[in-house]
Structure 1
Amino acid sequence: MKTTQLVGKEVGQVGYGLMGLTWRASPPSQAQSFKAMRAALAHGANFWNGGEIYGSPERNSLQLLNEYFTEYPADAKQVVLSIKGGLIPGQMAPDSSAGNVKRSIDECLRWLDGKKTLDLFECARLDGKTDVEEVVATIGEYVKAGKLGGISLTEVSAATIRRAAKVQRIAAVEVEFSLWSTELLENGVAEACKENDIPVIAYSPLGRGFLTGQIKSFDDLPADSMLRHFPRFQPDVFDENLKLVREVESIAKQKSVTPAQIAISWILAKSGQDGYPVIIPIPGATTEERINENMNPISLSKEDVAAIDDVLKKVAVKGGRYPDAGTAHLDM
């Protein structure tokens, strides 16, 4: 697997999203989670992305990571860890004030307990009240003190990236990016990251599982799935959005691979090309089987990428990325 650098450390071209291991109605067991995490690392997916917000204050990525690195201490040096925080504890409400950002970082460090360094920290969302310059300056104090490797931003606009980069070195910018969320290529964020030599971390590269082709109808979603509340999964647009999935499935069949492999390979084909920054997709998975699939991309030719791009021009995705409450916190 190809590598790139984050905070001076080598990371694989595909990373691993930890959200599903703790933030779902029925999370997998510790044993299953550990097996998945070890499988990701075995494939070279050593950039791990978790969150203080991925679950409750009592059970989120940090507790799982503490347990994992207690069991596998030798893995700590291999993993490059990014954690999202900066929300009010127990609420999906951002608070980017200096006091809460410091609380969040301190809490992450407390749970890691010296078993693993905190390589990157990012506010999951900005609160719209605190200037980004103040936010990154606060995080920057921990970088200067040697308690944190670098600063990341999440779901921010090109203008916000440029403002932040003027006062602090920004190590990464995390945004949703996939075949059905291509805003990154159109809203100036890719250009701003390229200008400032900032890698992009692409979350939900499989469209929250939709692009795998395994979700064929609204009823396929578990009764307790949060996706039942997301606009793009609603019954009135579901069949329209399936048109994109069918196109991806057709391409995958021609290549004798899975739709998931096509989706991730397309992101990697964009990475560092045509004026774009390095892009690291971070698919999440809870089973070794899915990880083996996600971490095994193929090489797409320029003709392959052009054919996929043509599909994206013809097939329009219906519905917003988030429900209204979530959209309100996006820095558009």
Structure 2
Amino acid sequence: MTPTIANRSVGPIGFGLMGLTWRPQPSSYDDAVKVMKRALDLGANLWNGGEMYGPPNANSLHLLEYYFTQYPEDSDKVIISIKGAAGAHGPDGSPENVRASVENGLKILDGKAFISIFEPARIDPNTPIETTISILSEYVKAGKIGGIGLTECNEQTLRRAHAIHPITAVEVELSLFSTNPLHNGVAEACAELGIALVAYSPLSRGWLTGQVRSLDDLPADDIRRLFPRFQPEVFHLNLRLVEGLEQIAAEKKVTLAQTALAWVRAQSRASGAPLIIPIPGCTTVARVEENLASVELTAEEVERIAVILEEIPVHGKRYPEMWEQYNDL
């Protein structure tokens, strides 16, 4: 049976739209459109972006509006997931901010594309999740958005939200460097409730591309220099994990990135979740083609990776403290 999300068939890998990340962005919208078009041609039809991914006049929503102006025939082929409802000082799931965020997205897209899933960007600790979901459910019932997602939520928050309105997808960081969702009840709850799990940063901010061998590979102003796992005292320790995983990739004659993405997809079987979709960010056609190549891991290879993860632990938290506080995990 073909997997579905938001009532549409979905490919095995999604696509992360341009955002405020460590990656250099395409030099123009036209360059970005070429990457997006190739991704869709290769089956990556879950597109994930955010209202805060870029400045107010040039974020993911503006890029989507530009794309579908060029290719209006593709609007029915893509599942669009948008994060929003961020505040100036952290997550803001208040009714006023949620409404303003959704309305802003609808205005920018101007009917050229449909928001299949709207996700509050992180969980607002100052607003009950029931309040946030109740507002979004009004937009679903009115047909203005297709469904509701959650980002970086824990199992309890997910269950509380789902009790108010069915949750379509949960977006959490999941990679060979970040396996927590498989053990903290989130993946298990998704399996039980029939919710898709969307894995962001499946290549762990470049660690799992094999292109980062030393701190000198990061520009002086690279935001990754702020992240705990890239600090000088642990960098060499985390590189050991990369080197161990590269051995399996070399034996398979595939890239490390392809191996890492195949591992994420394989967790659907391991966790029992109905659907796990990695959403690597790609800024070039070549990277899209690499990431969407058909690579599968055998049960033996998955077990070998499990042994490597046990023998070589990851050092450092996922985020700097100033951002770690916003993860509801």
Deviation at 1:251, TM superposition (A): 0.6
Deviation at 1:27, TM superposition (A): 2.7
Cross-structure match for 1:41: 40
* Contact kept in structure 1, 2:268 and 2:274, CA below 8 Å: yes
* Contact kept in structure 2, 1:158 and 1:187, CA below 8 Å: yes
Cross-structure match for 1:190: 187
1:126-165 correspondence runs (5 A): 126-165=123-162
Give distance in 2, aligned partners of 1:307 and 1:266: 11
Give distance in 2, aligned partners of 1:303 and 1:185: 19
Give distance in 1, aligned partners of 2:37 and 2:220: 30
Give distance in 1, aligned partners of 2:180 and 2:270: 17
Give distance in 1, aligned partners of 2:115 and 2:76: 11
* Contact kept in structure 2, 1:25 and 1:224, CA below 8 Å: no
**Residues 24 and 114 (structure 1), Cα distance of their counterparts in 2 relative to 1, 3 Å cut:** farther
Amino acid at match of 2:316: G
Deviation at 1:132, TM superposition (A): 0.7
- Confirm whether residue 169 of structure 1 aligns to residue 169 of structure 2: no
Q: Secondary structure at the match of 2:3?
A: strand
Give distance in 2, aligned partners of 1:47 and 1:110: 21
Deviation at 1:192, TM superposition (A): 1.1
Give the fraction of aligned pairs with identical amino acids, expressed as a percent: 50
Deviation at 1:324, TM superposition (A): 0.5
Give distance in 1, aligned partners of 2:294 and 2:210: 17
Give distance in 2, aligned partners of 1:223 and 1:249: 26
* Contact kept in structure 2, 1:155 and 1:330, CA below 8 Å: yes
Amino acid at match of 2:143: G
Give distance in 2, aligned partners of 1:331 and 1:274: 21
Give distance in 1, aligned partners of 2:18 and 2:29: 14
Q: Which runs of 4+ in 1 moved over 6 A?
A: none
Give distance in 2, aligned partners of 1:27 and 1:42: 21
Cross-structure match for 2:285: 288
**Residues 47 and 300 (structure 1), Cα distance of their counterparts in 2 relative to 1, 3 Å cut:** same
Deviation at 1:204, TM superposition (A): 0.4
Amino acid at match of 2:25: P
Amino acid at match of 1:299: E
Residues 233-262 of structure 1: CA distance to partner in whole angstroms, max 9, x if unpaired? 111111100011101111110000000000
Deviation at 1:26, TM superposition (A): 5.2
- Confirm whether residue 82 of structure 1 aligns to residue 78 of structure 2: no
Q: Secondary structure at the match of 2:43?
A: coil
Deviation at 1:223, TM superposition (A): 2.4
Give distance in 1, aligned partners of 2:52 and 2:212: 26
Deviation at 1:42, TM superposition (A): 0.8
Amino acid at match of 1:107: N
Deviation at 1:3, TM superposition (A): 4.5
Residues 105-134 of structure 1: CA distance to partner in whole angstroms, max 9, x if unpaired? 000000110000110000111220111111
Cross-structure match for 1:27: 25
Give distance in 1, aligned partners of 2:92 and 2:164: 21
Deviation at 1:191, TM superposition (A): 1.0
Q: Secondary structure at the match of 1:68?
A: helix
Normalised by the length of structure 1, the TM-score is 0.96
Normalised by the length of structure 2, the TM-score is 0.97
Aligned CA-pair RMSD? 1.4
Deviation at 1:166, TM superposition (A): 1.1
Structure 2 unaligned blocks of 5 or more: none
Structure 1 unaligned blocks of 5 or more: none
* Contact kept in structure 2, 1:87 and 1:94, CA below 8 Å: yes
